[in-house]
Every structure is written in C-alpha cells, then in structure tokens.
Structure 1
C-alpha cells in the first residue's frame, strides 16, 4: 500500500471579501446606469428642440403671438373646455400647448372634458361664473375672464348644406386677441371719418365691417366721426381712419387734422381713393414726406387678341419694417386701382421735424405709374413714374435712435389704394397688413394680423393591387417576422 494518497479534498471556497467586492461592483454599475439614464432624461427635458413638420405649419405660432408671449406682464390661465370627440379638439389642444410652452412660465393650461370631467367642469363654472354650455376656451387674467366659443375659432364653407365643412382654423387669432383684451383692460378707440363720400355704399360698408371685425380681434373699438360736426378730434382717439375719401377736407378740418397730428401721440391710417378729389389732404400728406401722384399704377401690352391693360397690381412687402416683416415672404395683390406715392427719404425739412418715412409696399418691376391711364394702350414715357413704384408707406414723428428707449411716437400709414378691404377681393394677407398697420400706429409694434390656418383634407387613392399588397404586409409578413424572431431566440436558448 503506498505511503501517501493524492489529496482529494475539495478546493477552498472563494473568500467572503471577494464576493462582497463583486456585489459592490454590480451595485455601483446599476447606480451609474440609473444616474446616466435619469441625467440624460433630465437634460433632454430641459434642453430640447422641436420641429413642426406639418405641411401648413399648423403647430407653429406666428411671430406676432410669440413676440407678445415674450413680453407677458401678467399670469394667464387657460382652460381647454372641449369634448374629446370634437373635430377641432386636437388642433385646439396642440395650439394651447404652444402657448404654454412659449409663455415663459406665465401661461397655465388645464384641459377639461365637460362630458367626462364633470366635477372639474362644475368647479370651473363656480370659479368663473360662466355657463360653459358649449365647447370653448376659458381665458382668465386676474379677475377678468373671457370665454371663446368654438364657432369663433373656425371659418366654415358657405352654402346651404346641413353640415358646413371647416375650411380655416383661426384659434390663434381668437386666443391672442382675447389675451390682449384681458391684459390691456379697456379697448383702444379708432374713429373712422365719414361724410366725405366713397366709391360705393357697398365699399364703405365692406371697409367698416372689416375694420369692425379687426377691432373685435385686436381689442379696439371702431366709432364713426363726421369732422363737420366737431371742433377738434376727440381726446380719447387712439387713431383716426380715412378710408377712400372722395371729397376733400375743408380748411377748418385740415387745421383739426394738423392739430391732432401735432399732439404727443397721434395715429393715422389713410387709404387713398385714386379717383378722389382731395388736394388739401394730399398737401397735408406731402408736408409729412408722402405725396400722392396723379397717376394709376398699371401694366399694359398689345397681344394677339387685343390690348391688355392690368390695373390690379402684384406687389411685395418690405422686409425691414415691423409692420410688413412678418408678411415679407408673401406677395400682395392690390385690387381695383392704385396710385403711386412719391416718398421723400432724405429731406432737410423732415429731418428738422424728426420725421422718418419708410416704404412698406412696392409694385413688381413690370408695373409703372401711368399719367394717361385712360388710353387704350398706354406706353411708358418721360412723364410717367418708373420703378421703384411705392404703393404704401409709413411716417413716424418723434422717434429716437436708441432702441433701448421706449418712446411713444406720432405714426401714420398711407396706402395708395382704398380697395384692400373690399369683401369680394380682400385676401387674408391684405387683412393682415391692415391689422399690422393699426397696431403699429398705436405703438403696439410687435402685434400684427394672424393668418388663419387652412384646413386640408387629404385622400389617398389605392388600386386593388395596392390594397392587396398592404393586406399581405400587415396581416402576414409583419406578424410572421415577429414570430420568426421569437422562434430564433427560443431555439438559441434551448441550444445553450
């Protein structure tokens, strides 16, 4: 028997400290992974970028609204009181989320479905005193409340059909206007000069209806004014509107106009009727750097079918003025007839009076200012006005060069066309330009018109072969791919 046998005792087990080290390493790794996970989520929450990839930029607020939200001085509470089955609920919710995100923490948003969240709806009724018997948006600033009904946020197709299709969504316009109303408190007052004739009664009615609609949206009140019945422009006038005057002002009325323009903060919007006989008004405008010319802006040519004479002017907006900068990417059609404006930019008299003139709208290159516009085929000659042709301009008196100083100034906008607000020819961009002009002349620089979002319905036409292909992909191929991957994972685990 051999003296010794091989040692068959089991190998010693790992020591306890080594096992604790592995466990501690695992714990540290888990903590590190969780820290990275929550850190990345925190950073992505605070610093992130958003893109609106919709064709119509449906989820992007206008520059006017963004500028206003950037200057909010009061907290705003908004409640989205819409049933979730409403056709515009997704649009309204997405719109109000943009207000909350861009409101710098001053905009608080709550969504309440009155059919499901009955308790919250009743609580909101008690807080606001509103009936809330239909879909809408509640906006509250301090103790002032405004309820925007669903129909105020949409424009529907006209016709006799039972269900009228929504063609435009103007929720942003309605919400921003309501916020202005609640934050500013009282309405601004614009006086529209009447009693001086007009192209037609319908044109005057269209202009007043359009301006009245803008007033409801932009928080100003439109009031009639007959200069023959007063001794001076009312002291509470934030702006004076002269739209399409056919007959001239009297000497006394011109003196009233000069006295108003000489006040500390005056606002004027003058939309000229080229066919009007208003030499005194023209002289007043000329003293402030804008002289209307006795011409018509047009384009004429001889074609195989006869003479073509075009009075409707295709024009472009200036991209530097705060009035037209939001519209610079758009083109505008000046309907009816327009007259050109002679603008004096560098004038010693104007500089001494601290008056600045700026062009707002210019005609496209093919148009010119024609003196003999009644001819069958007018041609450009020496007495006519050649490019650049200006159709609208702004005048500001009392401005300061230091942008850090906030000073209210006297402001005027002159347009060589009185047909921009005609019901049959008015475009959304025309309305936006007028809205921007009105806001500018009352020193509300950064707020202009807000164009409604068009609502489009898209239909995809599929032939039978495409329908069959979609069926096989969604019913057979995709579920089969998932099943195949699952079987592969199961087989690999069985083999291990």
Structure 2
C-alpha cells in the first residue's frame, strides 16, 4: 500500500515502511527533511526508489545521490537522424545486478525526455561499502546534449557527454556479497526518465524492470524477473473457399497421406 508522507513533521521514516519513493521531485527538501532521508538510508534494509525528471534535479537530492555514486547530469540524451533531433532512446539492460539477469541484453525504448547518469565507483565509496552499478545503457549514436535548451543538436566533445550513457543505476550499501549480512544491506534504484510510466508509453520490458527492481529493493528477489504474459484468444477470419479447402485437407488428404505411409511401411516389412 502506497502512502504519501510529510517529512516536515517527522524525525524518522516509520519503522514499518517497506521503502521510500521519490518521484519526479520539483522542489528541494529542506536540510531537516534531507537529514531524515539520510538517517533512513543509513538504516539496515532501507529501500529507495528515485525517479527523476530530466528537467532538473533539486540540489540537495542531487548532492545526496552524488554522495552515493550516482550523479544526474544536466543534459538530454538525444541523437540526430534524418536531420531531426530524436529524444526517444533505444537502450539495453545490463547484467549489473542479479535481479536483472532475465532482462540482461534485452533492448527497450524510453520515450519522452531522458537525462544521463554519471555512475562513479570512487575509492571512498568502496570504503563505505557503497556500490553503484549501471543497469540501463543507451545504444550507440546517442550523446548527452548539455545545451538542449538552446536547441543545439550537434555533439561537442568539450561540453557534451559521450557514451556510455546510463539511464538507470542501482546502489547497494553494505555487505551485499556476504551471505551472513546481505539481508541487512540497503538498496536504491535511480532512473532519469519518468515518461516511461505514462500509460501511452508503457513497454512490458520496462514494467518488468521496475517490478523486479522494487522486489529486489525490499528483499523479495525470488519474485524478480520477467513476469507471466497475459494469454489471449484471437479469431482468424477465413473466406468460405479457404474454410472448404482446410476441411478437405483434414477429411481426405491427411488420412490418405497417413494410409500411403502405412502402405510403404507394410511393404518394406514384407520385402
């Protein structure tokens, strides 16, 4: 059950909260609210889902993410095709974390606007047992355009961001690879596109990825992976002549063919 919470009147995230989601924040948190979020992140088994609008990431939220190895860049992931600027991004899932194994290598599409994420495994993060991992990477031909607001659509290697361009990253804090302590680790997912949640822009692989991510964050790895597909019944329209031909095949030709094969087998055994 999803419930909105007001941080301004809380000192802590409730102990029974399975996780915290920050979706397309337009306004920044206050220092006191950010302190509440940081205390929660430093708790065992905390789970963060952060879906960012590429328009702008509020400064304190941006600093919090950068401190954990993932920095939202101020750019737009685009390419130019046929003289037109294309912001719809073709991408692929990586095999960075176990929950992504079923989707690894699978292509997908992100419509709308996307920014790129800088995923940095700094030495100081390793010392703190913080491990950021890229999970979705844009295909070749795209770049991170930093002057998108000016209508610029030509790559500049001094200002723009080149491949690899990441649209999603996972972060673990704690001894994730130690069976004794893995259940105490904290987990976070960061994505730089929110348009993929638009009902008119839904792709099954993106929904599978989000569902697997949430299950991974709350410690239900057994439920991660590609979900079952809905079975449907479809009618095949046939002309009367086609229907008659199929009936003749079923009633005459197939039995005759079986009889012919049986005759050959019988003859070969008598010979």
Normalising by structure 1, we get a TM-score of: 0.48
| Aligned position for 1:66 | none
**CA-CA distance at 1:230 after TM superposition:** 2.2
Distance 2:199 2:97 in 1: 27
Unmatched 5+ residue regions in structure 2?
A: 267-271
> 3-state SS of the aligned residue for 2:149?
coil
- 1:342 maps to 118
Tell me, yes or no, if the aligned pair for 2:69 and 2:132 is still in contact at 8 Å.
yes
1:357 to 132, 138, 143: 132
Q: Which has the greater radius of gyration?
A: 1
Instruction: Spell out the pairing of 1:6-155 with structure 2 (5 A cutoff).
Output: none
Pairing 1:427-446 to 2, within 5 Å after superposition: 427-446=203-222
d(CA) in 2 for partners of 1:274, 1:308: 20
Distance in 2 of aligned mates of 1:329 and 1:279: 33
In the alignment, the residues of structure 1 paired with residue 80 and residue 252 of structure 2 have an alpha-carbon distance, to the nearest angstrom, of 63
- Residue 159 of structure 2 aligns to a residue whose secondary structure is coil
- Are positions 1:368 and 2:143 aligned together? yes
Task: State the shift of 1:437 in Å.
Answer: 1.1
Contact 1:371–1:383 (Cα < 8 Å) also in 2: yes
Distance in 1, matches of 2:257 and 2:165, equals 68
Is 1:316–2:92 an aligned residue pair? yes
Question: Which one has more relative contact order, counting CA pairs under 8 Å at least 6 apart?
Answer: 2
Residue 435 of structure 1 aligns to a residue whose secondary structure is: helix
1:248 paired residue among 6, 20, 28? 28
In the TM superposition, 1:378-397 aligns within 5 A as 378-381=153-156, 382-397=158-173
Residues 262, 280 of structure 1: alpha-carbon distance in 2 compared, 3 angstrom cutoff: same
Report the equivalent of 2:188.
Answer: 412
**Counterparts in 2 of 1:249 and 1:481: CA distance versus 1, 3 Å:** closer
Structural mapping, 1:320-331, within 5 Å: 320-331=96-107
In the alignment, the residues of structure 1 paired with residue 202 and residue 114 of structure 2 have an alpha-carbon distance, to the nearest angstrom, of: 15
After superposition, what is the alpha-carbon deviation per residue over 1:60-84, rounded to whole angstroms, capped at 9, x for unaligned? xxxxxxxxxxxxxxxxxxxxxxxxx
- Which segments of 5 or more consecutive residues in structure 1 lack a partner in the other structure? 1-220, 490-496
Partner of 1:474, secondary structure, is helix
Secondary structure in 2 matching 1:414: strand
Give the aligned length: 261
Mapped contact 2:79–2:143 kept (Cα < 8 A): yes
Q: Is the CA contact (8 Å cut-off) linking 1:309 and 1:377 kept in structure 2?
A: no
SS at match of 2:3: strand
The correspondence for 1:239, drawn from 5, 8, 19, is 19
| Whole-angstrom CA distance in 2 between matches of 1:404 and 1:312 | 43
SS at match of 1:257: helix
When residues 467 and 281 of structure 1 are mapped into structure 2, their CA distance, relative to the original with a 3 A threshold, is same
On the 8 A contact 2:133/2:170 being kept in 1, the answer is yes
What TM-score do the two structures reach when normalised by structure 2? 0.85
The structure 2 residue matched to 1:474, chosen from 215, 230, 251, is 251
In structure 2, distance between residues paired with 1:480 and 1:387 = 60
Q: Deviations over 1:88-140 (max 9, x none)?
A: xxxxxxxxxxxxxxxxxxxxxxxxxxxxxxxxxxxxxxxxxxxxxxxxxxxxx
Deviation at 1:275?
Answer: 1.4
Match of 1:333 among 104, 109, 123: 109
Q: Describe the shift of the 1:463–1:407 C-alpha distance in structure 2 as closer, same or farther (beyond 3 A).
A: same
Which residue in 1 is equivalent to 2:66? 286
Displacement after TM superposition at 1:431 (Å): 1.5
Quote the Cα distance in structure 2 between the aligned partners of 1:322 and 1:460.
Answer: 45
Distance 1:397 1:471, change over 3 A: same
